[in-house]
Amino acid sequence: MSDARIGVLALQGDVREHLAALRDCGADPVSVRRRDELEAVDGLVIPGGESTTMTHLLRELELLEPLRQRLAAGMPAYGACAGMIMLASEIRDAGTAGREALPLSAVDITVRRNAFGRQVDSFEGDIAFEGLDDPVHAVFIRAPWVERVGAGVQVLARAADHPVAVRQGAVLATAFHPEVTGDRRIHQLFVEIVNGRR
């Protein structure tokens, strides 16, 4: 069993699926919607969804700055799809003024929102993932890709010649959705990062 208490930001997206994946990996997952819940976790998953809406909700719930502070202080985080966009240091096509996605600057990357296209362009396929023996079945839904990788960032996977999974220190991000496939290896990696084992 893990001793990690990992939160899933419960504003949008596959919250239940991430909670189930973390539970399968031995973590103690909880939903995070309030500041006291954020302060009580050892790590945080930011699921997919719509990054501009999630930014708006973080502001409305007065979670944006507390989340930035926790990330700046070194809290481990994993972002999937919109979560990757939010964890980035720079966002291309961030949205319209006043409703744009704001970067949390937890990983030194530039991402492009909806880089693979609209909903009808969503796709899935097997991709090699650094450190895993077998490919990961990746589901891309209105997915971003990484256009710039900072010096301290490790690229873990690529698709269409672009990075789609990265890690910088205790922060992990994927452009795809492992929570919907039943493959728990990426969540297991994050649990091990939170526990200081990877």
Q: Which residues are annotated as a binding site for L-glutamine?
A: 49-51, 113, 141-142
To the query of whether residue 56 is one of the catalytic residues in this protein, the response is no
Catalytic residue among 18, 56, 177, 187: 177
Between CA 150 and CA 168 the distance in angstroms is 9
Between CA 51 and CA 32 the distance in angstroms is 17
Annotated binding site: 49-51, 113, 141-142
To the query of whether residue 162 is one of the catalytic residues in this protein, the response is no
To the query of whether residue 177 is one of the catalytic residues in this protein, the response is yes
Between CA 21 and CA 169 the distance in angstroms is 22
Catalytic residue among 17, 81, 162, 187: 81
Q: What is the CA radius of gyration of the chain?
A: 15
Number of alpha carbons in the 13 Å side-chain half-sphere of residue 27: 30
Could you tell me which of 192, 189, 187, 173 has the C-alpha nearest to residue 22? Answer: 187
Q: Catalytic residue positions?
A: 81, 177, 179
